[in-house]
């Protein structure tokens, strides 16, 4: 049996349809689909398709009719606003040849929200009060565009949401999740744990845990992005606590096998882990950057509370700045070049000295696309970590095929990971 037919037969398949020409053109990142996918997984709802359509009435009508033949639930985002290209509600009604009706309570809500902001609602916003006959209003607590929950035919339900992420998420949590649970569509409770790894490739990690990837409950799924590898651990149980009990021994075994490569879980980042280690030791850090252009400092200071341990940083692109601010000796630059271990070390020691930080990080390299040579190709980066027990500097070759942003991103991650590992070896007393 084909997957679509199986979905319809079980009455559990869920599809996502995101409407908006701006999504097709790449003007807006489709974060709604990712967020909803995670939410569906957490509810135990089988989710097999995600689609994007432009603001085209006929295509939306055709898609909705097709989805009704294979899925139990279709969730849509976008196209609920007051402008002419906001056509989702009307297209859905037309797909099932059901007339639109104005809902007085919706229009009253739109009017009240407009007046609370000191203005009268425009005539164009009145179309947001139109819903198909028989549909239930899915309230929008923050915006003016409501959604709907509608079952135009047996074993098929539509849930519509605006494209504004904050509005969609509030509506999902307040109304959609309780409805899905009461309708008996959710299957148990899914509990997940996300483990983060650095310094190991996805294929190498998968080889180390090959037998664990075959598990059915809990499951382990690897994926990679931005130089980092992640493992999502998921368990299905009657309640969250039972799910966590299933995950605990699996996480212990994964951490045992992978050692120092695993740097954190769930919302942890390399920056947040490093900052927490520094905070526990009562120590501080400063950064000196060339090719990363401030990315290292930005990663650290993006974490709330970073001001407790981050003293500052220097972006030293020009050799003259390296010399004047970081006191990098001219003879090192002349003899080894700016992209070298001795210069990276001098940068790390220089920023540590001038700020009084316990730890200094230095990055210098060739991010590209130009500037490389046979001896020093694009993607060559030297990273140094200077601390109370000395300075260590070594090179990384990130390659040039993935571009400048890739080299810069990996440079930041590698610098943070090297500091993390040094902090593990360093006693709290320093």
pLDDT per residue as tens digits for the range 156-207: 999 999 999 999 999 999 999 999 888 877 777 788 899 999 999 999 999 9
Nearest to 200, CA basis, from 230, 236, 234, 155: 230
Which structure tokens are listed for 274?
A: 């490093």
- In tens, the pLDDT along 281-307 reads 999 999 999 999 999 999 999 999 999
Residue-wise pLDDT for 388-426, tens only, equals 999 999 999 998 888 999 999 999 999 999 999 999 886
Task: Give me the percent of the chain exceeding a pLDDT of 90.
Answer: 79
The partner residues of 264 in beta bridges, in order of sequence, read 196
Q: Say if pTM beats, i.e. exceeds, 0.75.
A: yes
Helix (H) or strand (E) holding 108: helix 104-116
Average pLDDT over residues 43-53: 89
- Is 359's pLDDT higher than 80? yes
Q: Give the end-to-end CA distance of the chain in Å, rounded to a whole number.
A: 64
Length of the chain: 430
What pLDDT was estimated at residue 7?
Answer: 40
Q: What is the percentage of the chain residues whose pLDDT exceeds 70?
A: 96
Which stretches does DSSP call E strand in 98-199? Answer: 100-102, 130-132, 136-138, 147-153, 156-161, 189-197
pLDDT at 121: 86
Cis status of the peptide bond prior to 218, with omega within 30 of 0: yes
Q: Which residue segments constitute the domains of the chain, with CATH numbers given? A: 3-182 (3.40.980.10), 189-265 (3.30.70.2860), 270-425 (3.90.950.20)
- Exposed/middle/buried for 255, CB within 10 Å: 0-12, 13-18, 19+? middle
Please enumerate in sequence order all residues whose Cβ is within 8 A of that of 116, keeping only pairs 6 or more positions apart, or say none.
Answer: none
Please compute, for residue 213, the number of CA atoms within 13 A of its CA located in the half-sphere on the CB side. 12
Structure confidence at residue 245 (pLDDT): 96
DSSP state for residue 129 in the 8-state scheme: G
Asked whether residue 213 carries a pLDDT value surpassing 70, the answer given is yes
Q: What is the mean pLDDT of residues 70-82?
A: 94
Q: Is the pLDDT of residue 9 over 60?
A: no
């Amino acid at each position: 049996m084909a997957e679509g037919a199986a979905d319809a037969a079980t009455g559990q398949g869920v599809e996502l349809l995101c409407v908006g020409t701006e999504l097709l053109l790449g003007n807006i990142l489709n974060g709604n689909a990712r967020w909803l996918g995670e939410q569906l997984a957490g509810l135990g709802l089988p989710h097999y398709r995600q689609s994007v359509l432009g603001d085209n009435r006929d295509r939306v009508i055709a898609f909705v009719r097709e989805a009704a033949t294979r899925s139990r639930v279709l969730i849509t985002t976008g196209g609920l606003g007051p402008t002419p290209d906001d056509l989702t509600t009307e297209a859905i009604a037309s797909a099932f040849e059901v007339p639109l009706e104005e809902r007085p309570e919706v229009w009253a809500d739109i009017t009240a929200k407009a007046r609370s902001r000191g203005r009268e609602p425009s005539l164009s916003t009145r179309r947001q009060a139109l819903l198909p006959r028989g549909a239930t209003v899915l309230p929008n607590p923050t915006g003016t565009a409501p959604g709907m929950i509608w079952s135009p035919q047996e074993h098929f339900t539509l849930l519509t949401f605006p494209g504004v992420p904050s509005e969609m998420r509030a509506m999902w949590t307040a109304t959609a999740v309780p409805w899905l649970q009461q309708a008996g569509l959710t299957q148990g409770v899914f509990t997940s744990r996300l483990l983060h790894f650095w310094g190991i490739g996805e294929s190498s990690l998968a080889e180390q845990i090959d037998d664990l990837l075959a598990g059915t409950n809990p499951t382990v799924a690897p994926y990679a992005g931005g130089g980092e590898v992640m493992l999502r651990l998921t368990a299905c149980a009657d309640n969250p606590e039972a799910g966590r009990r299933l995950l605990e021994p699996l996480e212990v075994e994964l951490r045992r096998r992978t050692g120092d490569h695993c740097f954190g879980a769930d919302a942890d980042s390399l920056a947040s882990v490093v900052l927490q280690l520094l905070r526990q030791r009562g120590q501080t850090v400063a950064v000196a950057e060339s090719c990363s252009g401030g990315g290292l400092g930005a990663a650290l200071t993006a974490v709330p509370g970073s001001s407790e341990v981050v003293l500052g940083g220097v972006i030293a692109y020009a050799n003259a700045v390296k010399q004047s601010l970081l006191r990098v000796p001219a003879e090192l630059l002349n003899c080894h070049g700016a992209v070298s271990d001795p210069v990276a070390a001098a940068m790390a020691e220089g920023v540590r000295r001038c700020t009084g930080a316990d730890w200094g990080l230095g990055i210098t390299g060739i991010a590209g696309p130009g500037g490389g040579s046979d001896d020093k190709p694009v993607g060559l980066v030297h990273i140094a970590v200077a601390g109370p027990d000395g300075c260590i500097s070594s090179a990384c070759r990130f390659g040039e095929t993935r571009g400048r942003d890739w080299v810069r991103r990996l440079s930041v991650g590698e610098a943070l990971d090297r500091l993390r590992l040094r902090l593990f070896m360093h006693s709290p007393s320093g």
